[in-house]
Amino acid sequence: MRGLTGAGGAGGRLGATGATGADRAGGRRAATGADGGRLAATGATGADAAGPRGAMIEAAELESASAIDVLAWALARFHPRLVLACSFQKEESVLFHMLSELAGGGVAAETPPRAFTIDTGVLFPETLETWRRFEERFPVAIEVYDASSPGEPWSAQRCCGEAKVAALEAALDGVDAWITGIRREQAPTRAGARKVDRDERRGIVKINPLADWSERDVWRYVMEHELPYNPLHDRGYASIGCAPCTAPGEGREGRWAGQDKTECGLHV
């Protein structure tokens, strides 16, 4: 699954309404803030200007910016040392589309935006199919990091902990910032997420463009742009991880159902 570009179609949930509110981000438009001010990089260059410390100075202003403006700022400041974490859920459908629109409009045009996925070896078949459709639709390079632990018996403790975290560390090695699909309403553990934050553990910037989006906002955007998305969402899976430890459920209640666990270690 390494092919890029193409014009794949969207899956089942089509024919919905236009995007409004937080998700008003379609088309190839300039990156401007909520007050009309340009939110591109400051004009400084070099590691100090583009690094995590300088980025945090602008974080407060970005809290009121739209998702696509936050992404445009991130690309202008960090690309190509910027990467999107992808698990092929509906939030990534939105983010891949926005990144593609920005790249097509001249932002990061020389090299495609980067993304990575962590392959545990126990992903749903539907997730693998969604992966293929993403690569057909979006001109974004998807890097693959293995967390399958070949030769060892599968266990939730290893797969949803040390193996995934080790893969994440490898994926983030050498980057200045990473993008996630975290939304505040997904879980109490994510309620305080900011659109631009500092990943203290790694000393880099963590960007959550959809932090203030609702479930409704996400689906409006997916429908309006006829984006490919994981069909498991249509079967009651609000959050999708590995097949052995994911069940249907709202929010993240289907992840590790019956356990106190709500995070696999990637965002803690």
Catalytic residues: 264
Rounded-to-integer distance, Cα 156 and Cα 241, Å: 11
From 85, 44, 89, select the one nearest 219 (Cα to Cα): 89
Structure tokens at 239: 């959050």
Cis peptide before 248 (omega within 30 of 0): no
Return the structure tokens found at 139.
């001109």
Whether 219 and 229 have beta carbons less than 8 Å apart is answered as no
Q: Which tokens is 202 given? A: 């790694």
> Which tokens in the block code for residue 7?
């014009």
Is residue 8 classed as helix, strand or coil in its secondary structure?
Answer: coil
The DSSP 8-state label assigned to residue 151 in this structure reads T
Coil/strand/helix, residue 197: strand
Cα separation of 148 and 95, whole Å? Answer: 26
The tokens for 171 are 């994926």
Residues 6+ apart with CB under 8 A from 43: none
How many CB atoms sit inside 10 A of residue 2's CB? 8
